[in-house]
Amino acid sequence: MLNQPRFRPPSIARSFFSNEAAGGLTLMCVAALALLIANSPLAPVYFDVLHRYVFGLSVLHWINDALMAVFFLLVGLEIKRELMDGQLATWSRRALPGIAALGGMIVPAVIFVAINWNEPLNLRGWAIPSATDIAFALGVFALLGPRVPVSLKIFLTALAILDDLGAVAIIALFYTAELSPLMLGLAAATLLALAALNRSGVKHLAPYLILGSALWFFMLQSGVHATIAGVALALTIPLKVSSGDSPESPLHRLEHALSPWVAFLIVPIFGFANAGVSFAGVTPAALLDPVPLGIALGLFVGKQVGVFGFAWLAIRLDLADMPRRASWAQLYGVAVLCGIGFTMSLFVGLLAYPGSALLQDQTKIGVLLGSTLAGIVGWLVLRVAKAKLPKAS
């Protein structure tokens, strides 16, 4: 049957929102627990375990380089699906979240650079406040119930996916260590082999995952951050279904399999390992240091100004449409929520300041402060904002 409609899992959007929202609430609890432990008598045990070496890498490195590669694999799968067969499949659908995401990356970076202009080392963290944590943001959405239009959830999800795409590009281009030509060549050869599997119509996931593991190892040794291997692997996983195959594509199967593990295990483990910062000796004046101040203002002020400002311009100039049944106040509330940068911001901070425990701790303080303010204020705005009533016919 040549015109047989392609299978599309009916619950993919519902399960995605459910996993992400519940995962975001889990992440909030885990981050709070990490902060509590890091400032309790258990702090020495917490930090000792994270810095204990296993098979040549510390536990923290295994979490940040290996587990987070699986997180980036899921990010890559979501990006590919949405760009080719989802909410971002056409230019008209990409317009508003794409323009808003661009503003949400540019303005926070400008604020951070302006505050840290006289500190050359600090400037490596310019991309830290440019990220949005979709799990946290959708967790806040879950607390609001049905009072927020579904169109805004779709807008936020699309924006965060494009934001993740920008973050991946930034990591690959600006946070790459000294390169090993041999390992980079082996990684490139492995990626070509993965592309060949795709072109040959191989639909079984096992060969992709085996070669993907090799790609991760070569990336780890090459100087390019190993998590990029997850995104690269995702781009080679087949999305289309051939006649006679399983009605669900390899990409959908892998995405559905990974989603709960990432939402409820991998991201919470990352949050628990990286959110713990000791406040011993931290005074209110320390919050005015350039790094935490630049990050906090970038996330809380820069994100809302960039996202809302660019979205407002796009709609006013007829470059994009307003999300259905959403009011300007609700769109502004979503823009504020985009300042929750937690997971990706902490991750970029680790790459920006690999040799400075002080700057990493300042990064955590700035991310926690900015994300908390964005979450609370964004929730309050959306709590009181009214939806746009449909026009009477």
| pLDDT at res. 11 | 47
CA 46 to chain centre: 25
| pLDDT at res. 92 | 75
Cα 51 to Cα 42: distance, rounded to the nearest angstrom? 15
Phi and psi for 69 in degrees, rounded to 5? Answer: -65, -35
Whether 341 and 299 have beta carbons less than 8 Å apart is answered as yes
Position 384, amino acid: V
Cα 280 to Cα 260: distance, rounded to the nearest angstrom? 36
Residues whose CB falls within 8 Å of the CB of residue 289, separated by 6 or more in sequence, listed in order: 362
**Helices and strands (H, E) in the chain, number of each type:** 17, 2
Query: What does pLDDT average to over the chain?
Result: 84
Average pLDDT for 38-57: 88
Q: Determine what percent of the chain is predicted with pLDDT higher than 90.
A: 32
Domain ranges of the chain: 12-175+225-384
Reference 265, options 27, 9, 57; nearest CA is 27
* Continuous segment of H or E residues that includes residue 388: none
Phi and psi for 260 in degrees, rounded to 5? Answer: -65, -35
Is pLDDT of 390 > 80? no
| pLDDT at res. 195 | 94
Is pLDDT of 392 > 50? no
150-209 pLDDT tens trace = 788 888 888 888 887 888 788 877 877 677 889 889 999 999 999 999 998 888 899 999
Is pLDDT of 239 > 80? yes
| pLDDT at res. 306 | 96
Cα 228 to Cα 234: distance, rounded to the nearest angstrom? 10
Question: What would you report as the CA-atom Rg of the chain, rounded to the nearest whole angstrom?
Answer: 21
- Which of 37-41, 112-116, 320-324, 379-383 shows the highest mean pLDDT? 112-116
89-142 pLDDT tens trace = 777 778 899 999 999 999 999 999 999 999 889 999 999 999 888 777 877 877
CATH number for the segment(s) 12-175+225-384: 1.20.1530.10
Position 372, amino acid: T
* Least-confidence region, from 168-182, 216-230, 239-253: 239-253
pLDDT band of residue 3 (cuts 50, 70, 90) is very low
Q: Distances in Å between the alpha carbon of 268 and those of 176, 315, 349, 368?
A: 26, 37, 17, 15
pTM for this one? 0.78
Cα 131 to Cα 347: distance, rounded to the nearest angstrom? 10
| pLDDT at res. 246 | 62
Cα 335 to Cα 348: distance, rounded to the nearest angstrom? 21
